[in-house]
Amino acid sequence: MAEVVPFHVLSGSESAAHGELAVSLGAELAPFDTAVLDASLAPVVADLVGLRSSGAVEQLLALETILPRHLRVEPRSHRTLGLADLLPHEVARRRRGHELTVALVALEAARRAGLKLTLVACPTAVFLAHPRLDAPVLLSAAPEWELVDARELDEPELAWQCGHEAASLLLSLILTRTRETGHLSAELRASELCLALPLEAGDHERLQLQLASVRARLN
């Protein structure tokens, strides 16, 4: 049973994996038993591990069939006021959640199974992708797992997301949720975690001001 690597350590690595970084982020907000996470992911990993020797297309085709058995996007109307649908360890345990976290949990299961997948996103959707696949084929998690042709999406802002960028997207969702629900302590921690990510100078100043604003509301 491996311990979760601290977020400040992983966030300093240029090669931080999407799922591993997301799990570490979740642990900063709500500590959990790693044995529970391992047990939650084990059935998905077991179904994926046999795909290691398959080609990129075969892997995505298999994922379209396998992932619906283990993970699904939770309808907005079913989501609670807490963070359960956004925290990776909770989504893995519940087998459902927000589309971004569902995609990140799937990436973590794939990483543990030895598959090298990545994330593609636009302002309205997230997708799994294979970095070795030349064809513009993506795997969408919402509303259901489905292969799509990126050329038919008409999304000019569609872009590859590294692990840090994915963590930033997740933190943005968490910050929005905590502001909406008044969870100031979680908002404070999420604001602090934002500053642990590699940042442009302008972003660092903006996030410092954001953190100061949250601290002021706590006093």
Burial 208-218 (b: 16+ CB within 10 A, else e): eebbeebeeee
pLDDT at 196: 94
Which residues of the chain fall short of a pLDDT of 70?
A: 1-2, 78
pLDDT at 156: 86
pLDDT at 217: 87
Matching residue, tokens 């636009």: 122
pLDDT at 2: 67
pLDDT at 10: 94
Domains and CATH numbers, the chain: 7-183 (3.10.620)
